[in-house]
Structure 1
Amino acid sequence: MANTTRINSDPAAKLAGMIPFGKDPASVRQRVVAMERLLEGLFTIPGTNRRVGLDVILDIIPVGGGVIASAMGAWMVWEARNLGMSKTQMTRMFGNVGVDFLLGLIPFVGAVPDFFFRSNTRNLRIIRRHLDKHHPATATIDN
C-alpha cells in the first residue's frame, strides 16, 4: 500500500514554516521583516499605492487594539535588544512605539494618523542599519 502525502494549502502554516526560530542575526532579520510586513504592509489599498497592515486595522478597536499593536511593536524592540543594539537606539524605537500607541488611543480617528506615522517601519530601518553595520552577512537585496 502506498503512502499518501497531504498537501497543506493553509497560508499561515506555510508562512510559519518559512520563519526561522534561530537566535542568529540572519534569523532575527527575517522575523523582524516579517513582523513589519504584517503590521505595516499586509495589503495595498485599491487605487492607491499605500500599504496597510494590522497596525491600522487594530486601531479600529478602541484601546485594546492599540495595546495589541504596541505589544507587537515592542516585540521588535525586544529582538533588537537580543541583537545587542545600543540603549539609544532602543530608546528611539520605544519612542516610536509610544507615539504610535498614543495616536492609537483616539477611538476610530486614531487610525488616520497611524496610517501616516509608521513606527514599525521606522524601527525596522533602525534595526537594518545596525545589522548592515555589525552583521553585513545578513544583508539582503530588497525588490
Structure 2
Amino acid sequence: MTSYSYASSLGDTSYRAVETRARLDALARLLDSAIRVPGTNIRFGADALLNLVPGVGLLTSKGMSAYLIWEARRLGVPLPTLLRMVGHVGVDFVISAIPVVGWVGDAFYRSNLRNMDLLRRHLDKAHPMASPIQR
C-alpha cells in the first residue's frame, strides 16, 4: 500500500496531523539530538551548536522552538500544556544565556524533545493514528 493510499484512508484532518507530527518531530530531533558524540551515548543538536554564536544563535534556536509551540497551538493543544511547553523553552533560554555552561546545558536539557512528547500525547488523543488497512 502506498503512503498516499494509507494517508487517504486516515482522512484529510488526520493526514495533516500525521504530516505535521512527522515534520515537528524531525525539527525537535534536529534541534536537540541530531548528532551523537562518537563512542558515547551523548547526543546534541543544532540548538547547542547555534548557541555557540553569541546572540543570533540563541535567538534563532529559540525562534525554532517557538515555532514548534505555535504549531502545537494551531493543532489545538490546551492552554495548560502550551504553558508547560513555554516553560520548557524558558528554562532552556535561561540555561543557554549563560556562556560556556549554557552550551553544556543545551546538550542535556532537551526542551524541544520534551515539548514534542507533550504534543504527541495531545495528538494521540485528538487524532489517533489509524492502523493501516490489511490486504
Contact 2:44 2:106 in 1 (8 A): no
What displacement does 1:99 show?
A: 1.1
Counterparts of 1:65 and 1:109 in 2: how far apart (Å)?
Answer: 15
The structure 1 segments of at least 4 consecutive aligned residues displaced by more than 4 Å after TM superposition are none
AA matched with 2:103? A
Pairs aligned (count): 118
AA matched with 1:51? R
Contact 1:29 1:138 in 2 (8 A): no
> 1 or 2, which has the higher helix percentage?
2
1 or 2 for the larger relative contact order (CA 8 Å, sep ≥6)?
Answer: 2
Among candidates 59, 66, 76, match of residue 67 of structure 1: 59
Contact 1:63 1:107 in 2 (8 A): no
1:128 aligns with 2:101: no
What displacement does 1:83 show?
A: 0.5
Structure 1 unpaired stretches of 5+: 1-22
Calculate the aligned-residue CA RMSD, in Å.
1.8
TM-score (norm 1): 0.77
What displacement does 1:107 show?
A: 1.9
TM-score (norm 2): 0.81
Structure 2 unpaired stretches of 5+: 1-14
What displacement does 1:67 show?
A: 1.1
Corresponding residue of 2:42: 50
Corresponding residue of 1:14: none
